[in-house]
Every structure is written in C-alpha cells, then in structure tokens.
Amino acid sequence: MRVATLLAGAALLASACGSGQAESSASGKPAVIAAFYPLQWLTEQVGGQDVQVTTLTAPGVEPHDLELGVKQVTEIQDAALTVYIKGVQPAVDEAVAEDRSFDAATAVKTIPAGHHEEGGEEAHDHEVSYDPHLWLDPSRLAAVATRLGERLAAADPAHAQGYKDRAARTAGALGALDQEFAKGLSTCTSKTLVTGHEAFGYLADRYGLKQVGITLDPESEPSPARISEVAKVARAEKVTTIFTESLVSPKVAEVLASQVGAKTAVLDPLESKPSGDYLSAMRDNLTTLRSALGCTT
C-alpha cells in the first residue's frame, strides 16, 4: 500500500515540476500548510494574519498513515512553506520540497524511538530513529515556535517583525505551560505512565516520568506477550490508571486495566484537534496526570 502511494506521489511531483513560484492563497497571503493539528495551532499562532494556514489532516483523523490525494500533493508543492515532523507521516515526508518545508524535529533535541522486544524495526510505523511526538513537551514546542518565526520571516521578509513578535509571544505561552507541568508533576506518588500508543515519550523525558506504552503504532494490535509484560510492570509499579486516547479504541487498555485492577483515563496525544486548543488540552492532560499519578503540590 505504501509503495503504491509513494509511486503515485513521485509521478505527481514529476508532473508538477516547473510550476514555479510559491503560491499565494486567494487572500494574497502566503499559503502555509501544517501537516497535523499541533503544527496547525503553532503555525496559526506564529503566522497570525500574515499567512493563510491549511492542514493536511482533517479533524478526527489519526495522522499516522495519512495518504495524500492529488490535490494535496500539488498544494504542498506550491505552498510557501509546509510545516511537518519527519517520521510522523511517511506520505508527507515524501511529498515536501526541501527548500519550502520546515521539519520541526530539526529545531529540538530528539529522543530515541521506543523499541519493544518483539517485532523489531518492521513492527513500527515511524521511519526515523527518533521518537517524532515532540509536541507533547511544551518546552520543545517553544523552540519550534522560535525557529518557525525565523522561517516565516525569511519566506515573507515584508512581515518579518510580525512573525518574530508572534513567535516570541507563543514561545512565552509555551514556556509558562512548561512551568505549570514542571510544578504540577514535581511531587507525585507514581512516576509511571502506562499508555495505549507510545506518544508521551517527550512529556515523560521532560518531567521525569517513565512511559510504558502498550503499542508503538496506534493502528497495530499488541501481542498477548506484550500485554502481559506491561501488566507485570503496572502491578510492580502499583499503577492506578491506564491511559487511553480518543482516536484509538480503548479495548486493549480496558482489558489491561481490569487485569491489574486499575481504571482508565483519556490522555490526549493531540494528534488531532481537541475541543479547545493546544494549551487548554495540555492543561486538561496535566489535570488527568496529577490525579492519576497522585501528585500533591
């Protein structure tokens, strides 16, 4: 399936060659494409009224395994800038033009991808050696905001100051969120996060928690061996809550929770648009985490 998609993408790219200048949207503003929700939010904050932002991943769609249509590949080729994270969506990685794209992973210190004993490299979807879920650490997303401001300023020099000002403001808001997380997770009974799909590595890394994910890929079924391995950890660490997410069936997490006498709670990996925005959804995550981990301060 993926090979067919890539071949189709390559053919489209070839036929789109020579389409020339970066496209302006109907509004006359630079067209900027964000690959999926957290990047869309960030691009809207930093781009403000000076850009026209569209996203490749519709609300409610799990972004991993996104396939691109003809129209979207052409839009990527023509956009002033495409903001993405290499390793989240292979179809986007293939479609972007190097000089008109911004890979947010280049703006932060990445952490290695999670590896389970079973399956090896073929078992997971991310085709890079690092964990791509970097938006779940607000301090890293702040660094991305700053770099994005510089990239937009370079692409549209007439509005450079606006991009830089909004990037600084966005980085400031993310820095404040980071402080809330650091304080809110500083004194907790448990440090172990048992999650459905392994999306919270950066959050764990930043705030001194340990993530134990049932699967690496939200679409894959974990093996019974993996489930019993996680159950063993959950019992040993006296885990009270198994985290699930809204776009993935909670079935496996529920089975695991009943095996170890825990409950389940939704922790949003923000791979799709939440009911509020990035900041409010992350604050909801913090509230969920504090209750599940028994945090007191």
List of residues contacting Zn ion (CB under 5 A): 199
Cβ-based nearer residue to Zn ion, 85 or 199? 199
Looking at residue 141, the DSSP 8-state letter turns out to be H
Residues 6+ apart with CB under 8 A from 115: none
Residue nearest to Zn ion as judged by C-beta position? 199
Residue 97 CA to residue 9 CA, distance in Å, equals 12
Nearest to 128 by CA among 157, 84, 93, 176: 93
Burial 161-176 (b: 16+ CB within 10 A, else e): ebbbebbeebbeebee
CB of 132 to Zn ion, least distance (A): 7
CB of 78 to Zn ion, least distance (A): 28
Cβ-based nearer residue to Zn ion, 130 or 163? 130
CB of 217 to Zn ion, least distance (A): 8
Q: Give the CA distances from residue 30 to residues 16, 27, 79, 152, in Å, rounded to whole numbers and listed in that order.
A: 19, 9, 7, 9
Cβ-based nearer residue to Zn ion, 199 or 204? 199
CB of 197 to Zn ion, least distance (A): 6
Helix spans in 17-159 (H): 37-47, 70-78, 90-95, 138-155
Cβ-based nearer residue to Zn ion, 2 or 183? 2
Cβ-based nearer residue to Zn ion, 100 or 126? 126
Residue 9 CA to residue 92 CA, distance in Å, equals 10
CB of 125 to Zn ion, least distance (A): 8
